[in-house]
Each structure stands twice: as C-alpha cells, then as structure tokens.
Amino acid sequence: MSSQPIAAKPVVLRPRAHRRKLENRERILSEARRLFGRHGFAGVTTAEIAEAADVAKGSVFAQVGSKERLLVLVFQRDMNKWLDDAAARAGRGALLDQLERFFDAMLDGAADAPELTAVFMRELPYAHREPEVVAAMNRTYALLMDLVEAAKARGEITNSVDSTTLAHNLFSLYFNFQYIWLAQDMPPRAAVEPNLRERLAAQIGVLLRKRGRSD
C-alpha cells in the first residue's frame, strides 16, 4: 500500500461564488480604509471591519489575513494610485520641474485622506518587509530613477551620480516634507519652509552638469 500522501483536490470556485468572493474582499478593503482613516489603526478591530463590510469575521481572515495585512493591502492600493498620477503628471521638462510635479501629485493623494496617510506613516515602517510594501517602494524608486536617467541623457545632471542613491534621497526629502506638511494641517505648500521645490533644488543643484566640463 502506497505511503504517499493524498494530494488535496484544488478548490474550484464557480463564477458566481468567485464574483461574490471578490465583492466581499473589495468591501473589506474599502471599509478597512475608511475605519483606519477615521479611528486609527489601534482604534479599529477586525470584528468591526467585518461588521462594516457585512461579512463574517472569519471571512476577513480567509480573504485577507490579519489586521496588519489589511493595512498593508490598503496602503498598496492607495500608493499605486498616487504613483499612477505622479508618473502621468511628471511630464517633460527640466528635472526639478518634473520632480515637483511628481511629488505634488503624491501630496494630492495624501490630501484626499490625510488621517489615513498619517496611519500609513506611523504603522508601515514596522511592515517594511511585507511584499506589497516592498513592491510599492521599488516602483516609486524605479519611476524616480527613470526621471534621473532621462536627465542624465539630456546632459542636465552629471553622469557620475548613482541613480539609485539619488532616487532614495529624493523620496526621503518628499517624505520629510509630507510629514511636516501634514503636522501643520496642510497649509499652502509654498508656505512650508523650506518648501518642497527648495528642498529638491538643494539636492539636485550640486549635480547640475557644468558647461565645458566632462564627467
């Protein structure tokens, strides 16, 4: 008699069941986003999210997992929306102008749900190794690196700068500005001192390629 374990049969969902599962997942994520933004991460329970989404508590664990995983998935969705807008708005022109438009688009996303953005900033450093967080940040750096590489190709900044390092530095400047701006209840961005453009200009100013000088 064979001692090989019997493989479990894969669960095949019928179209209606599959659609219902996707609808439940969407409601869970939407309600988690709303409740995290309203009450903070610690102020919401998984049971409350399940009740708001009109699903059983066990469905939350089956569909998503822990409350921490819920926050990660909400962040991934929001961050990708911000990055879609940022990539579209960066456009053409000088690197400084592109970066300002790129980060302004992300700040517009943060302004749509400032309380939720504050939750992301407080909680997600503890989840920095989660695959969705890693993927979102890698996409951010890749988009910034594309802008940097294009500026190099135009001869706008020196080729000697490491694009990966610069992308990380630029995002750090943005993140710090976002933190201060949110803490000040989102005043006009130009009123924050130094404003975002000034911070970015200080970073890339030393990298401008001088005429008549080779790298």
pLDDT attached to residue 32: 95
Q: What does the DSSP 8-state code read for residue 209? A: P
The predicted-structure confidence for 150-206, as pLDDT tens digits, reads as follows 999 999 998 999 999 999 999 999 999 999 999 999 999 999 999 999 999 999 987
Average pLDDT over residues 76-91: 97
Q: Given a cut of 50, is residue 211 above it in pLDDT?
A: no
How far is 133 from 130, CA to CA, in rounded Å?
5
Q: Given a cut of 90, is residue 4 above it in pLDDT?
A: no
pLDDT attached to residue 34: 96
Q: Given a cut of 80, is residue 41 above it in pLDDT?
A: yes
Q: At what angle do helices 95-112 and 196-205 cross, to 10 degrees?
A: 140
pLDDT attached to residue 9: 62
pLDDT attached to residue 1: 46
pLDDT attached to residue 148: 97
User: What does each C-alpha distance from 97 to 64, 124, 145, 151, 161 come to in angstroms?
Assistant: 40, 29, 15, 11, 19
The predicted-structure confidence for 131-146, as pLDDT tens digits, reads as follows 999 999 999 999 999 9
- For residue 121, give the amino acid letter: M
Greater confidence, 1 or 81?
81
Average pLDDT of the residues of the chain = 90
Q: Given a cut of 70, is residue 17 above it in pLDDT?
A: no
Tokens (6 digits) for 47:
């049971």
Average pLDDT over residues 74-92: 96
For the chain, give the percent of residues with pLDDT over 70: 89
